[in-house]
Structure 1
Amino acid sequence: MSLSAVEKQIHSSVAALPSAALQTHILQQWERLVDAWNMSSLDVFSVLSGNESQLIKVLVGSDYVADVLCRYPKFLVELVEAGELSASISSDHYDRLLQTALADIDDESVLNKTIRECRQKMMLRVIWRDLNRLAPLMETTRDLSRFADASVTHVMRWHSERLKPVWGEPHAKNPNGELVPQSMIVLGMGKLGADELNLSSDIDLIFVFPQSGWTQNGKREISNQEFFTKLGQKLIQSLDNQTADGFVFRVDMRLRPYGESGPLVMSFNAIEDYYQSQGREWERYAMIKARVMAGDQARGAELISLLKPFVYRKYIDFSVIEALRGLKEMINREVRRKGMEHNIKLGRGGIREIEFIAQVFQLIHGGMDVRLQNRSLLAVLQLLEEGGILSSSAHQNLLTAYQFLRDTEHAIQALQDKQTQLLPEDELSRTRLALSLGCDGWDSYIAKLNALRASVEAEFVDLIRPVDEDVTAEEDASCDGWRSVWLDDMSDEEAVSIFDAVGFDRPADAWKLIKDLKGSKRVRTLQREGQERLNQFIPQLLYQLESTDGSTETLARVLVLVESVIRRTAYLVLLMENKTAFAQLIRLCQASPWISQQLAKTPVILDELINVSSLYSPPDKAELNDELRQHMLRIPEDDLEALMESLRYFKNAHVLRVAAAEVTGALPLMKASDYLTYIAEVILENVVDMAWHQMVERYGYPCNDDGPVSSPELIVVGYGKLGGIELSYGSDLDIVFIHNSNTKKYTNGLKQVDNQVFYTRLVQRVVHIMTTVTPLGDLYEIDMRLRPEGNSGMLVSSLKAFEDYQYKNAWTWEHQALVRARVVAGSRQLEGQFNQVREDILASVKQESLLSSVVDMRKKMMASLASNPAGDQDDVFHLKHDAGGMVDIEFMAQYAVLLWSKDYPEMRIWSDNIRILETLEALKLMSVEEVNQLIEAYKVFRIEGHRKILNNQSVAVTGEEAQNFSEYRQIVNKIWQHFMEDRV
C-alpha cells in the first residue's frame, strides 16, 4: 500500500481523537515516523497497512515507542512479518532469541549494544500489544519477566566464559571429597520473582553460589567468592549501565542480606545462616516471591528449600499482621512526606495494599497450607477465596482493582519508559492515559480509579488498622466551649475568666497567645480548607491542655508548631485523627522546648507520635540498620535528593525518639548517648555506601594487585563524643577518613583516576551528603580537623601515612585525641588493622614530657573556653570547661591511657571515659573511691548537660544552681591535684 493510502487512514483516525492538543501531538509524531521511514531502505508502509488504528493507539500511549519506531524501523517490519504483534509467543522465545543474537559476539561493547537493541524490540512488541489490548495483563508481565530471565542468563554466561581463562573455574569439594564445578545462581525477587514484571521495572536480584572453594585451571587462583563477585559486577554493568543505546534493566541488589553493606554474592551456608539468625519480618514478605531465574535450577531449588522454614512457619502465624501494620505505616509516612497520594502503587488503595493482603495471609497460613506458597498474586487471591479466607465479593473487588491499577501502571510507564507510578499532572498526559485505559476522558477515568482504590483500602483497613476511640460527650461539650473562645468576638475579661476557670496557670498570657494567633496575617489569609481545619484543631488543643501542668508554656510551645504548619494543615488533621499522637505532642512539648522546636522545624516527624510503644523505646543498632535499609530500599539508587531526604527524616525521627524517652524518664543518660551514637554510626555506614556506588558508577572500581575491589577499603574513625559513645543532641561529628588502597593503582572505569583521587572524591561526596542543607535540614556538622596535619592535611590518608604521622609528627594532644578514637563505619578488615595501629601508638608514647604537655594543654583550654578561668567563683560553673568539670575528668582518663598503655594492654581497649576509669580501678592504678567519685561526677555533669540542651539552656550554670555542683567540683579538683598537678 502506498504512503498516501496509509496516511489517509492515519489522518482519519487522528481526527476522531477527543482533544485538539492530542491530535496535534500525534500528527507531529506521525511526521517524525514518515521522515525516518522514508530514509530507510525498508517498505514500512506496506507492513503497516491494516494496522493503522493500532499504531494510533500506540502513539497516543507511548512517546517511547515512537522513538523506537523512528530509530529501528526494521523492528516493526520483522515483528509484523513474524506475526509477533498479533499473536502470543512461547515461553522460551526470548531465551532462544538471545542465545542466537549473542552467540558469535566476542566484544563486550558489542554485547552491550546487542542486548540493548533486543530490549528495544521486545519493548516495542510488548507495549504495542498491551496498549491495543491484544495481550492480557499476565501475558504482558510474563513476557517482560521471561526477557529478564533470558538477559541475565545469557549475559552472565557470556561474562563467565571470559573470566575463566584468567581466573579459573570455581570448584568445591562434594561429600565424597571430589572437586566439582560451581556456578552462580540468581534469585529474582519482587515482581520479577512472581513473573509480574512491569513495563519499566527494575529487577531485584540476589546472587548466590553453592559452596566456598577455589578456582582451578586459570592464570591465577582466587576464591569462589571473589570470582562470583567479579562475575556479578560484570553482569550488573552490562544490564544496568545507561549507554547511547539505553539500558537493559535497572538492577537493584539492596534486597540481599545486609543490603548495600553486605557482600555482593554469598554461599548457601552464609545466606541460610543470615536468614535464620538475622532475618526480619519484612524479609519474609520479600522472600515469598523469590525464584531461581538464572543459573543451576536444581541447586537453586535446594536453596529455596533451605529458606522455606524462614518464610513459612509450621503454625498459623498471626504475628505478621503487626509487622505488616508497621511496614504499611512506614510507607504511609513516606507517601505523606513526599505528597505521593496520587501514587497508584504506594498510595492508599494502591497495588501494594493488594499485594500486602495476599502476602499477610500467605505468611499466616502458608506453613500449614502449602498451596499458598505460591508466587503469583492472582493465584493466591483465588486460593484465599476457595479457602473461605476472602469472600467472593472481596476477591472480585481486589481482582478488578488489581487489573485496572496494573494497566494504569503500564500506561503511565509506557509514555516515556520511566519507572514511575505517579498519575500525570498535565492535561495532555491525563487525556492520553484515560484513552489508553478505555475511558472517554480524565473525569470518567479518575472516578473509576477512585472507586476501585476505595474498595481496596476498605479491605486493607479491615485487615490491619486499629480503630481509634470515639469522642466522649464530655470532650465534645468542652470543645464547644473552646470553639466560642476561638471563633466568637469575646472580651478580654470574659476569655481570661474561661482560661482561669479551667485551671490555666497564667490565663491572661494564654488568652494573649490565642488572640495573637487568631489576629495574625497568616491565619487571616488562610484558604477555606485550612481555616476549617484550624477551627477544629484549636478547641481540641485547648481541651487537651486543661489538666496539664505548665499549661500556658506548653500552649506557647505547641503554637510554635501550629504556626510552622499553618500552610500545611494536613499535619493538624493527623493529630486530630490520632488521639494518641495528640496526647504525646502535649506531653513532649510540656517536657522540653527543644523537642517542640524540633517538631516545628521538621513537622513531618509528627508521624512518630502515632505509635507510643516505639516512641519511648528507641531501637538498638541492629534494628536501626534494618529500619534504615527498609526506608532506602523504596527509593531508586539514582535519586540522590530523595535518598538524602530519607536519611534526614530517619535521623530526625530517631533523635526525637531518644529525646522523648529521656525527658520522660524511660531512658537513662548513658543509654541516650548510646542510641544517639548508634544513629550516627548507622547513617555514616549508609552514606559511605551511597557515595561508594556513586563514585563507582562514575569512575569504576578501585584496583589493587588482585584486580578491582568490590567494597570500599575505607574506614571512618570517630573521635571525641562520637568515638567515646557520648553523643548529645546537636553534637557535630569529629571524624577522620583512612583508606588502605594502593595509591599507585587506578580505577577500572571508562573515566579512570588513581585510587588516592578516587577516595578523596568519595570522602568529599560523603561530606556533601552529610552536610548539605535540604528542606529537612542537614544530617550532621562534620569536623575533620583531627586528621593528620589538620585543615592543611589530605581529606583521606592511607593507614600507613596515618601511622607515620602519629609516630613522627603528632603532638601530645593528638595522642590524647587518639585515646577517644574508634572506627564507626567502613571496612571490617581495615578496622582490625587500624585498631592494632592505634594500640601500638598508644603504647609507644614518650613519657618524658607527657604530663607537662597534658597539663599545659588543659591550662590553655581553660584560658580560652572556661567561663571562670581563675576557678575562684562558686556561683559560675561551666559544666564542661571550668575547673572541676568534665574536661578535667576526660584529661585524667586520657593521661592515664598514655601513661600506662605500654605496661597494661587493657588500657588501650576502650575509647569511652567510663570504661577507661573502670579499667584503672580493675588494674588498681586508681583507688576504688576516686574512680567511683569521678564516674558519679561525670554522669551528673552529663545528665545536667543533656537536661540543659533539652530545655534550650546554656551549660554554664550560675547562682544557686551552680552551688548544687560545688561538692562534685571540689572532688574533681582534689583528684586532679593529686593525680596530675602533684606529679609535675
Structure 2
Amino acid sequence: MLGMDRLETNLGRLARLGFTDTQRALAMLSTWPGGATDCADLLSGVADPDLALTGLYRLADEDPGLHARMAEDPALATRLVHVLGASAGLQQHLVRHPTHVDQLAGSLARTPAATLRRQLLVAVGADPDATEPVAAHLSGDELRLAYHAAVLRIAARDLSAEDPATIQPDISAELSDLADAVLEAALAIARGEVGADQAARLRFAVVALGKTGGQELNYISDVDVLYVVEPHVDDQGAPCIGGNDLTVLGSRIASALARICSAHTGVGTIWPVDAALRPEGKAGPLVRTLASHGTYYEKWAKSWEFQAMLKARASAGDLALGRAFVDMVSPMVWQIGGREGFVHDVQAMRRRVVRLIPAKERDREIKLGEGGLRDTEFTVQLLELVHGRVDERVCKSGTLPGLEALVEYGYVGREDGAEMAAAYRFQRAMEHRVQLYRMRRTHLVPDDPVDLRRLGRSLGFRRNPAEELVKAWRDSTRRVVALHQRIFYSPLLEAVSHITSEALRLTTQAAQDRLHGLGYADPRAALQHIEALTQGMGRPAEIQRQILPAMLGWFADGPNPDAGLLAFRKVSEALGRTSWYLRALRDGGTMAERLALVLSTSRYATDMLLRAPQAVQLLTDEGDSIPRPAEKLRADFTAIALRHDDALGAADAIRAQRRRELLRTSMADILGRIDIEAVGEALSNIAAATLDATLQVVSREAEQRGEPLPAIAIMAMGRWGGGEMSYASDADCMFVMEDSDDPEAQRRAIAAITRLRELLRRPGADPALEIDADLRPEGKGGPMVRTLESFRAYYQRWSSTWEAQALVRCAVGAGDRELGNSLVEVIDPLRWPEGGLTDKQVVEIRRLKARMESERLPRGVERSRHTKLGPGGLSDVEWVVQLIQLQHAYEHPQLRTTETLPALRAERELGLVSESDAEILEQAWLLASRIRNVIMLVRARASDTLPTDGADGAAVAAAMGFEGSGPLKAHYREVTHRARGVVERLFWGE
C-alpha cells in the first residue's frame, strides 16, 4: 500500500504541475538521468509539459549528453523546455538538427538587424561587406538552416519571457529584421543564379509592405513586397541596361528570390513572398522603375493601394533606391484621406473582410474577426490617414507606434489607446503562440481542448488555462469592438442623425440595415429614438451626435439593445441639459459604455435609474469599493434618516438610499466589477443598514410618545445571516429584546417591530424590503419578539434538530450589538454541538431534506432547472456544508461561520471534503447563485427556475456570457450533475 500511496502522490503532484498523461510522465521521468523531481519542476512552467518531456527524450536520443549540458547551463535548459513545450514544429527541427540547441546558450538579447544580415549572407557564402553581395551557395538550404536557427533564438526569447504581450512588439520587430536579412540573402542567391556580371547591370530594391514594412511581422506569414529596379551606369554615365532587358532581368531576379524563400526542401521552408500589392496587382509587371511607379500612383492608383503603401519601407537590396521610392510615394499616401469617399471605402473594405470569413471560423478568428487585430489596425490607419494630411506627427508606419502618436497628440483618449494597445499586444501574442505550435500560418483560436489548454498555459494562465484564455480573449475583442465602432463607424451616425454634410452619408434604409446587423430588433423605432436625441443644432444634440456611435455598439453588446436605447433616451431627456451629464457623455467614454451595458442588460437596474436619473453619476465612481463596509453604510443610512423629523419621511429617505445602494451594486455586478460573493455581502450589508436605520427611527418615534423601547437586536438568518443575499431575498430574521421586569416592554417591542415592517413595505416606487421571521422559535405560531432569557429557555428545552441547522446561519444583523452577541453565546452550543450530531439527528436532517425536495418544488417546474431545490442546486450544496459543520465545528473553530463558501473552503482545508469535491460544490453554488441574480437583473422579477426559451432565456444567457440559452442550460446541467454526485456521497452516504 505504501508504494501505491506514493505513486498516487506522485501522479497528483504531476497533475498539479501541468502534466495530463501522468502515468506516462511518471514512467519517463523516473528514467531521466538528470533527476525526476528537478526535471518535473523545470517542465511545470512550460505550455505543454507532456510535449516538452517527449521532446527531451527525442532530443536526448540524438544527443546523449543533453541532460549533462542542461545541468551545466540552467538558462539553456529553461529555454529549451519552453521551446519544446510550445512548438512541435521547432521540436522537430531540433531533433533533425540537434546541434542547434547551441543557439539557446548565452545571451538571447535581440540581435541587431545588421548582425542578422551579416549572419545570413555569410551562411550563403556571400560577402556581407559587398555593395551587392553574390552568394556562392545557391541551393538555399544553408539559408533555410540559418533562418530556422535565428527563429529558434527568437522563439526561445519569446517563450521564456515573463509577459508575452509586453515583449510581443519587440519579437515582431526582430522577426521583421530577420525577414529583411532573408530577403537580402535570397537576393544574393538570385544574383548568383543569373550571374554576377548580369546582376551588376541593374540596381534592385526590395520594398517591404504590410506587417514586414511596419516592423510587426508574425512567425509564419506571407511577406508582402514590391520591387524597384534602375539600371547601373558605366563610367561615362550611360545605363548598363535599359528598356525591356531591364524588366526581363529584374523579373528573373525577383522570381528567383521568391522561389528561394518559398521552396520546400528536406531542410524545410521559410515563407512565401507576395508581390500582389504592386501596381496592377498580379496582372502588372513584377518590377518597375521609379518613374514607372510614380506615373502609376499619380494617375491610376486606388485609395486602398495608397493605404497598402502606408507601411512601405526599404527592406533589402539597394536601400537608397528603396528609400527613394518611399520618399516619392509617401506624400501621396498622406493626402489620400482627403479623397471623396475615402472613409466610406475603408469602412466597406473592413466590412467585406468580415463578411468573407467562413461562418465556422468567425468566432475563432484572431486576425480578421470582429474585435480582432484587423479592427485595431484599420482604426489606427483610418485615423492616421485622415489626420496625417495636416499633422505629420501621427504619420507612423507601425500599428502600435501609430496608436501611441494618436494618443500623445490627442486624437485618441489615453484610456482608449491603452485598452486598444493592450488588446492588440495580447491578440498578437495569441497569434504568435498559435503559429509556433506547428510552425504554420494560422490565425484561428483552436477548438480542441488540449490545444486550448496549451495555448492558455503558454500565455501565463495556469488555474483553468483554456477558460481563462478564452475569457481574456473575449474581453479583449469586446473592448476593441467598442472602441472600433465608436471611432471607425462615426459617419454612420452622421447619416442616422441627418446631419447635412459634404461627406458620404448612408441612406435611411442603409442605417436601418446597419442597426439590424448590430442586433436591434426594431431598427425603425431605434432610428426614431436617435432622431429625438440628435434633432436640433444645440449643444445637447451635438454631444449626443458625438457619443451615439459608441452607444449604439455598446447597446448591441447587451442582451436587449432596443430596451437599452429607449431607456437611454428617457435618461437623456431627463438630464440632457445638465452640464455634468453632457460632459460625461462627451468625455467620459467609460461612463457612457457602462451606462449602455446596464440599460441594455437589466430592467431591474433601469427601473431604479429611471426613478432617479441623477444616479447615473454612480457610473463615474472609480474609487468606491463594493461591497461598501457595513459600518459605513449604517452611518450613512442613519444620518440620512435622522434628518427627517417624521417617521414616514425618514423611512422614505431610507428606502431611497437603499435603492441607490442597490443600483450601485447591481450596476457593478452587470459591469463585472464584483463577483457573486461580493454581491451577496453588499446586499446583506444594505439590508443591515436599512433595518438598523429604520429601527432607530421607530425607537425615536416611541420615545417621542413617551414609550421608550427596550434594547432590541435583529438577528440575521438564512441568506442574510450568511452574507449571501440575492436581489430577490427577503430579510430572514429573529427579534430579541433585553430581559425586563416591565410588563409593557414586550408589548412596546412588538409594536415597534410591527411599525418597522410597516414602514419598509409601504407601497411606493422604491423596492420594498420584506421581513421574514418564520425561523423564530415556534415559527409563525410563536411570539414575534422574545427576551434573551426566553430564547435561552426555549433552546435548552424544546429546540429541534432543524432549528440547530437553521441557527448555523444566525448572526447579529442590526440593532443592539451587545444584546445580539449575548444571543449568539446562547445558540453556539446548539449549532456547534459537543461531539457533533448523533446518528439519529443525521437521519432526521436527511429526512427533512428529502421531504423538502418532494414537497416544496413548485408544480410543473422541471426539477433539473430549479436553481434552489433542483439536483446540485443551492439547497444541495448548503445542506452538505451545514451537515459537516454541525458534525465537526465543535472541534474545528474555523468551521464556525455563517457563510457557505468560507465554511466549504475550511472543510476542504481540514480534509473533511476533498479538493475536487469542494471545487465541484463551489462551482455549482456560484453558478446557481449567479443565475438567480441574473434572472432578477434581466427581468426585474424573481425566479428560481432557469429560463431556457424565448427572449428571457436568450437575455439571461447573454448576460451570463453564453451565446444562447442552449449552451447555458447544457453548462448548468453539467455542473449541477457533478455536484449532485458529490451530494449523494457526502450527504446521503450513497
Q: Mark yes or no: TM-score above 0.5.
A: no
Name the TM-score class by shorter chain.
0.3 to 0.5
